[in-house]
C-alpha cells in the first residue's frame, strides 16, 4: 500500500512539474481560431480574419438580427445568400451612404442564440482581428436575458469558441455559475495540459487522419459519405456545426409568405425567468458598455420587433420590467437605446414566426432604424464621421497603391553585362 502511495505521489509531482514547465516555457504554439467544429461564430471570425476592407459598423444580436439581415439583403440583392459566407449588411451599407455620405462597411456579428455574454466576447474578438468598428448596433429581445433552456453563459456555442480567442479572466466568475463549471475553469487556468487539451486532441486527430489516409487510402466511391449524410445519420452529433450551403436565405415574394407558430418553443424558453440569469446578462451588458467606452465605440441598443403573441407568453410584468431595465441601463451608462418593437406597425405578414422578421418586416425595421438615427444628433454625428473617415482611408489606400504601381513600372530592370 505504501509503495502504491509513493508511486502516486511521485506521479502527481511529475505531472505538476511538467505542467509548470510547460506553463512557463510555452514550447507549443496553438492556433486559438481552430476548433472541434465550425459553428456560426467560427465562420464569422474566419470572415473577419480575411477582411480586406476595414469594417466601421458592426451588428450584434441573436437570430432576430440574423433573420432580419439575411432576409432584407436577399431581397435587396435579389440573390440567394449562403449565411456561412454572407456577413455584411448590404442594405444598411447603402442606406447609410445615401443618408450620411462617405463609405460604410457593416459587419454582421449576430449569431443564433446570442446572449449579451456572447455579444461581449464577439465584439472583443472582432477588435482582436484588427477590425474596430466606430458604431455597434445591438438588437435585443427578452429571450436574450432570460432563456430558461440555458444554465449559464458558458452553455452557448459562441461562448465556447470565443473564449479561446479573448481573455475572460475579468468576467470568469460571472460566466461560470455552477460549481463544476467554475472548477473546470480554475483547472484550465492552473494546468497547461488541461487548458490545451482540445488543441492536443485536434493535433492528434489531424496526424492520425493523415497517417490513416496515407496507409489506407479511401476507396473510390460514386457516392462518397458527405456532411449531409452524417447529419442525417447522426443528427445530434455536433448540432452547432454549420456547413457551407446548409443555411441559405433566398429572395422572398409576397405570395410566398408563410407564418409558423413557434409558441411551444418559446413557452419552454420563457418557462422560468431566472432573476440570477437576468442579472448575469445585465452584468455582461455593462461590460459591453464599458468596453465600448474604452474603445471609443458608439453603442446603440435596439429592442427588436416581435409579435404581441410572443410577448403574451411571458409571465405578467416581465416584458414591462425588461424594457424598464434597458431604459434605466442606457441612461445610467450613457448609451443610446431605441425601442422599435411597435405592435401596431408590424403584422403577421412581416414575420416568419412569432419573433423572426421576414424580408418585408426586416425592410420596415431597418427603415425605422434609419429614421430614428437620422433624428438623433449623437448617432447621426458618429455615423457621418465614421463614413467620412473610411472613405478618406480608402482614397489614400487607392492613391498609395496607384503610386506604387507607377513607380514600379518606371523603374526599368537592370541589364546584366554580357559575359566576356
* Residue range 232-242: mean pLDDT, rounded: 86
Q: Is 50 exposed, middle or buried (0-12, 13-18, 19+ CB in 10 A)?
A: exposed
Residue 190: inside a domain, yes or no? no
For residue 394, pLDDT beyond 80: yes
Overall average pLDDT of the 397-416 stretch = 66
pLDDT higher than 70, residue 257? yes
Residues 208-219, mean pLDDT to the nearest whole number: 81
The C-alpha cell at 124 is: 472583443
Q: For the segment 169-185, what is each residue's pLDDT rounded down to a tens digit?
A: 899 888 888 888 888 88
Q: What percent of the chain has pLDDT over 70?
A: 90
Q: DSSP character for 61?
A: E
Say if 21 falls within a structural domain. no
**What are the pLDDT digits (tens) for 268-295?**
999 888 889 999 999 999 999 999 999 9
Burial of 34 per CB tally in 10 Å (0-12, 13-18, 19+): middle
Q: Which three cell numbers stand for residue 149?
A: 433552456
Whether 248 is in a domain gets the answer: yes
Q: Note whether residue 195 is domain-resident.
A: no
Confidence of residue 52 (pLDDT cuts 50, 70, 90): confident
Residue 154 has pLDDT above 80, yes or no: yes
pLDDT at 24 > cutoff 60: no
Q: Compute how many other C-beta atoms are within 10 angstroms of the C-beta atom of residue 70.
A: 26
Global pTM reads 0.89
Q: Identify the CA nearest to 270 among candidates 303, 309, 302, 212.
A: 309
Q: Which residues pair with 5 in a beta bridge?
A: none
106-108 and 57-61 strand pairing? parallel
Of 124, 167, 140, the closest CA to residue 295 belongs to 124
The average pLDDT across 307-336 equals: 95
Q: 118 near 156, Cβ under 8 Å?
A: yes
Residues 196/27, Cβ–Cβ less than 8 Å: no
Return the C-alpha cell found at 350.
Answer: 412581416
User: In this predicted structure, what is the pLDDT of residue 123?
Assistant: 97
Mean pLDDT of the chain: 88
201 versus 10: which is more confidently predicted?
201
Of 84-93, 168-177, 222-231, give the range with the top mean pLDDT: 84-93
**Residue 10 counted as domain residue:** no
* Domains contained in the chain, number: 1
Give domain status of residue 200, yes or no: no
Q: What is the pLDDT of residue 5?
A: 66
Q: What is the pLDDT of residue 413?
A: 57
pLDDT at 250 over 50: yes
Position 25 confidence tier, pLDDT thresholds 50, 70, 90: low
| pLDDT above 50: residue 420 | no
Mean pLDDT of 183-199: 81
- DSSP symbols for 299-347: EEEEE----HHHHTTSPTTHHHHHHHHHHHHHHHTT-EEEE---TTT--
Whether residue 350 lies inside any domain: the answer is yes
Calculate mean pLDDT across residues 215-226. 78
In a domain, 12, yes or no: no
181: Cβ–Cβ under 8 A, 6 or more apart, which residues?
Answer: 152, 154
Q: Residue 417: pLDDT above 60? A: no
Dihedral pair phi/psi, residue 357, rounded to 5°: -70, 145
Q: Which of 24-33, 80-89, 210-219, 262-271 has the lowest mean pLDDT?
A: 24-33
In sequence order, what are the residues at sequence separation of 6 or more whose Cβ sits closer than 8 angstroms to the Cβ of residue 297? 123, 132, 133, 134, 135, 136, 291
CATH code, domain with 318: 3.40.50.1110
Q: What domain range is 54 assigned to?
A: 29-179+242-398
Q: Which of 13-22, 142-151, 175-184 has the least mean pLDDT?
A: 13-22
In the predicted structure, residue 156 carries a pLDDT above the cut 70: yes
Scan for cell 455536433, then name that residue: 238
Query: Given CA atoms 29, 35, 40, 41 in this order, what sign does their dihedral have?
Result: negative
pLDDT, tens only, 368-382: 999 999 999 999 999
Residue 18 confidence (pLDDT): 64
Identify the residue with better confidence: 404 or 113.
113
Q: What is the mean pLDDT of residues 184-198?
A: 80
Query: Is 92's pLDDT higher than 90?
Result: yes
Q: In the predicted model, is pLDDT for residue 199 greater than 80?
A: yes
Query: For the packed helices 63-77 and 90-100, what is the interaxial angle rounded to 10 degrees?
Result: 80
Amino acid at each position: 500500500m505504501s509503495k502504491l502511495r509513493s508511486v502516486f505521489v511521485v506521479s502527481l509531482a511529475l505531472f505538476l512539474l511538467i505542467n509548470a514547465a510547460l506553463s512557463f516555457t510555452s514550447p507549443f504554439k496553438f492556433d486559438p481560431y481552430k476548433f472541434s467544429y465550425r459553428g456560426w461564430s467560427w465562420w464569422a471570425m474566419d470572415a473577419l480574419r480575411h477582411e480586406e476592407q476595414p469594417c466601421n459598423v458592426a451588428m450584434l444580436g441573436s437570430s432576430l438580427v440574423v433573420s432580419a439581415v439575411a432576409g432584407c439583403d436577399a431581397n435587396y440583392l435579389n440573390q440567394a445568400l449562403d449565411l456561412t459566407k454572407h456577413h455584411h449588411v448590404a442594405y444598411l451599407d447603402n442606406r447609410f451612404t445615401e443618408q450620411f455620405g462617405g463609405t460604410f462597411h457593416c459587419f454582421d456579428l449576430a449569431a443564433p442564440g446570442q446572449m449579451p455574454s456572447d455579444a461581449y466576447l464577439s465584439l472583443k474578438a472582432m477588435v482582436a482581428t484588427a477590425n474596430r468598428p466606430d458604431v455597434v448596433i445591438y438588437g435585443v429581445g427578452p429571450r436574450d436575458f432570460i432563456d430558461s433552456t440555458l444554465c449559464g453563459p458558458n452553455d452557448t456555442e459562441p461562448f465556447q469558441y470565443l473564449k479561446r480567442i479573448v481573455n475572460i479572466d475579468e468576467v470568469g466568475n460571472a460566466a461560470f455559475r455552477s460549481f463544476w463549471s467554475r472548477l473546470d475553469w480554475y483547472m484550465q487556468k492552473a494546468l497547461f495540459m488541461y487548458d490545451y487539451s482540445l488543441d492536443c486532441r485536434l493535433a492528434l486527430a489531424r496526424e492520425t487522419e493523415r497517417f490513416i489516409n496515407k496507409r489506407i487510402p479511401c476507396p473510390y466511391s460514386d457516392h462518397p459519405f458527405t456532411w449531409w449524410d452524417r447529419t442525417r445519420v447522426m443528427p445530434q452529433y455536433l448540432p452547432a456545426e454549420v456547413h457551407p450551403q446548409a443555411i441559405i436565405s433566398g429572395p422572398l415574394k409576397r405570395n410566398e409568405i408563410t407564418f409558423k407558430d413557434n409558441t411551444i418553443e418559446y413557452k419552454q424558453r420563457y418557462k422560468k425567468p431566472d432573476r440570477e440569469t437576468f442579472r448575469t446578462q445585465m452584468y455582461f451588458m455593462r461590460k459591453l458598455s464599458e468596453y465600448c467606452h474604452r474603445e471609443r465605440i458608439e453603442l446603440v441598443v435596439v429592442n427588436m420587433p416581435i409579435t404581441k403573441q410572443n410577448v403574451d407568453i411571458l409571465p405578467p410584468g416581465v416584458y414591462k420590467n425588461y424594457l424598464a431595465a434597458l431604459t434605466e441601463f442606457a441612461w445610467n451608462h450613457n448609451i443610446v437605446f431605441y425601442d422599435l418593437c411597435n405592435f401596431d406597425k408590424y403584422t403577421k405578414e412581416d414575420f416568419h414566426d412569432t419573433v423572426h422578421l421576414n424580408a418585408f418586416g426586416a425592410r420596415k425595421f431597418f427603415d425605422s432604424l434609419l429614421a430614428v438615427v437620422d433624428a438623433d444628433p449623437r448617432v447621426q454625428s458618429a455615423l457621418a464621421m465614421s463614413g467620412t473617415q473610411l472613405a478618406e482611408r480608402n482614397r489614400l489606400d487607392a492613391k498609395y497603391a496607384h503610386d506604387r504601381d507607377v513607380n514600379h513600372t518606371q523603374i526599368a530592370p537592370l541589364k546584366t553585362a554580357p559575359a566576356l
